[in-house]
Structure 1
Amino acid sequence: MKRCFCILYVLALVLGLVSCGPGGSSFRVKGSFRDMQSGELYIYNANAKYAKLDTLTIQEGRFQYKGEIDEVTPFMLVYPNGVEQVIFIGPGEDLTYEAAANDLRNYVVNGSDENKLMNKFREETFSMNPSSIITSVRSYIKNYPASLVAIYLFDHYLVQNELVGNEEVKEMLKVLKPKHSRNHYLLDIESKIASADKRRVGKTLPDVTLTRKDGKTTKLWKTSCDYHLVTFWATWMNNSYSFTGRLREVLNSAEPEKLRVVAISLDIERFRWEDQIRQDSLNSHLEHYCDGLSFESQAVKTLGVGTVPYYILTDKNHKVLDCGEDMNQLGNAISKYVK
């Protein structure tokens, strides 16, 4: 009887411990704000393998996010003003997130070594200029090549930076690959790097399949025009409305018969995309497409697009004239080429 009681006691203790936090592939993030009582945020996994956008509801200054995952990966927390913050989440982890809505650069995530390292990077680079931050990124990649933080910094600051040379990107990839040969996040980045060569200035942009609002598919190059402007955006990005406003300025400055504008949405929730384009006065001048696959979209992966907003301007033969994230640069390119 005593032995039976001991077994039951141990089982109860184990079950009690399990109930206190996640285990196995489960995870939990508990967030709190010092100055925000209610609201909504988006969160998505930066690893295309888990392409999904979730909504977090803030009540009484707190939120809780649960799920399952089989490897450590960066999640991106998206605020209504478009500011993104990274949280590294792994199987079995119980994390805490603390922030202030009026100071979004200063946030802390506790509960894992990866987040501790990312906290350290943010603190060290908080007052640095962009050039110094890139220097720090290089050091972190070389000093912590086995960390997921190194992969994230590589992607965010080097791969997605048009000012960083392709040779440096490939050299840094060589530093990371031996430590992460099977990591899906790095494999996806590597594929993106290879695809990015297809959209460099002077290259001929390949044809891709696009999904219309009615669900039917079509090809990018089905229509002939002197110039083609292919844009990538999403309703959840920080400047979705200013992006469409900039497109409006571009269209007003160019002759409509000379410039074709294609808007490819990376929204996962198509209804949000449909709501926004329904309200937009540009609809008659834009070709809107969305397949709901976000960064897993065939068009996005084929063209190596890793951020939004993004644009690619081509001539009638589909030769790339200009590309990038800067919408002011786009205006200059339109003035230069589309006369």
Structure 2
Amino acid sequence: MISVVSLFSCKQDKMGIGYEVHGTVRAVPDSTMVYMRNDGLNDSTMVLGETFLFKGKVKEPTWTLMFLENFDEPIPLWLENVQIRIEALPNRLTEVKVSGGEIQSMANMLAERSDAIRTAMDSLGNIMALPELTDLRKDSVQASYRKLQQDEIALEKDFIRENPNSPVSAFILNRNRTRWEKTSVANLFSQLKDSAKKTVYGKLLDRYIKLNKNPEVGDGYVDFVQEKPDGESTRLSDLMGKYTLVEFWASWCVPCRKSNPELSKLYSRYRKKGLRIVGVSLDEDRESWLDAIEEDALEWDNVTDLKFNENEAALIYGVVGIPDNFLIDDKGIIVARNLREKALTKKLKEVFGENPTFKQKTD
């Protein structure tokens, strides 16, 4: 078991009212903006005399990203109601020192364990990028890289088992919930203590494990409930046709928006033959969603629950990136997934025949 003693435990007991993030950033000019972002926080301040300060309060320890204006690399930290210190050089933000809280100390310990693996992976990544690398050598390097990935996974799983009461364990498990096997995720979740399960990350994990079905091609579709633009709830089963394309997208997804015109053409060609499209948006801003529907002239059914990546339908279907889609036949069987552009056109011609009701214009 890992035992961590916070260097600021006495100070933490005395504060008890919130956090103070004291940052030192060498060679950064005054008035440079610093931002802190997480799902419940959107704060900013300025650098003055190579230092900056954030003050606030969190309900529970929260993984947070800090961004320095004009620098691409964010600074990750655990925000706790204690004094937190950050020391960074602008050209080495990946080596920033963050200290101050018990949870941060535990996260630092895990990072130290992973450092050797990450360094080796970076070196192999650089080697794989060499243009003169032979195919045989590339295969060998890729095999070594995959072995290191498995070593890192094993290290993180061991950390979770050793620290079942830590928010860091719940966070790591939630972050990897779609990368690791579902049975492994569920098993590790069952080993977490209530203190970890009750964190925001534990609650997200619990919801994911209960909802996620990951239906595959050949499986029956899974019904779900979402809201239409008018605010009324509807089931997928109430919107289905002879063939139903469940299209996962969002207003902020550039590839999704670019594919909408072609999708509209296909819908016009096959809607009279029984094609239905149900657009499931991963938006979280209602107005952005409605504006995108209008701007792209989407005539099919559109639904959402405005929960972003935690969209219930996306969790059920195991959607981890968009655009993504599922084609369901008249028997309720999933016959294809993630059909894009030519592949979707070919599949729809196959299922509806070569004589569509509308002849597509040619350039």
Query: TM-score if structure 2 supplies the norm length?
Result: 0.60
Instruction: State the distance in 2 between where 1:32 and 1:155 align.
Output: 31
Q: Is structure 2 residue 167 aligned with structure 1 residue 148?
A: yes
Instruction: State the distance in 2 between where 1:274 and 1:57 align.
Output: 30
Indicate the structure whose relative CO is greater, using CA pairs within 8 Å and at least 6 residues apart. 1
The one-letter code matched in structure 2 to 1:145 is: P
The one-letter code matched in structure 2 to 1:208 is: V
Instruction: State the distance in 2 between where 1:133 and 1:43 align.
Output: 27
Asked if the contact 1:211–1:217 (Cα under 8 Å) also holds between the matched residues in 2, the reply is yes
| Alignment RMSD | 4.7
Aligned residues: 298
* Unaligned 5+ runs, structure 1: 1-16, 46-51
Q: Which has the larger radius of gyration?
A: 2
Kindly tell me: are residues 180 and 219 of structure 1, through their superposed partners in 2, closer, same or farther at Cα, counting changes over 3 Å? same
* Identical-pair percentage: 14
Deviation digits for residues 13-46 of structure 1 (CA, Å, limit 9, x no counterpart): xxxx99x99943533445676769656867234x
Instruction: State the distance in 1 between where 2:59 and 2:170 align.
Output: 17
Asked if the contact 2:247–2:326 (Cα under 8 Å) also holds between the matched residues in 1, the reply is yes
- Helix, strand or coil for the counterpart of 1:141? helix
Kindly tell me: are residues 263 and 191 of structure 1, through their superposed partners in 2, closer, same or farther at Cα, counting changes over 3 Å? closer
Instruction: State the distance in 1 between where 2:174 and 2:22 align.
Output: 26
Instruction: State the distance in 1 between where 2:263 and 2:238 align.
Output: 22
Moved more, 177-186 or 202-211: 177-186
By how many angstroms is 1:179 displaced?
6.2
Asked if the contact 2:170–2:197 (Cα under 8 Å) also holds between the matched residues in 1, the reply is no
Instruction: State the distance in 1 between where 2:346 and 2:68 align.
Output: 35
Kindly tell me: are residues 292 and 332 of structure 1, through their superposed partners in 2, closer, same or farther at Cα, counting changes over 3 Å? same
By how many angstroms is 1:154 displaced?
1.3
**Correspondence 1:1-339 to 2 at 5 A:** 23-24=15-16, 26-29=18-21, 43-45=37-39, 52=40, 54-57=41-44, 59-60=46-47, 66-75=55-64, 86-90=76-80, 92-97=81-86, 107-119=96-108, 120-121=110-111, 123-127=115-119, 128=121, 129=145, 130-157=149-176, 159-161=177-179, 164-177=180-193, 180=196, 182-197=198-213, 199=215, 202-212=219-229, 214-225=230-241, 226-231=243-248, 233=250, 235=252, 240-245=253-258, 257=271, 258=275, 260-267=277-284, 269-273=285-289, 277=292, 282-284=296-298, 287-294=301-308, 299=313, 303=316, 309=322, 311-316=324-329, 317-321=331-335, 334=344, 337-339=347-349
Query: TM-score if structure 1 supplies the norm length?
Result: 0.64
By how many angstroms is 1:138 displaced?
1.9
Kindly tell me: are residues 167 and 305 of structure 1, through their superposed partners in 2, closer, same or farther at Cα, counting changes over 3 Å? closer
Asked if the contact 2:256–2:322 (Cα under 8 Å) also holds between the matched residues in 1, the reply is yes
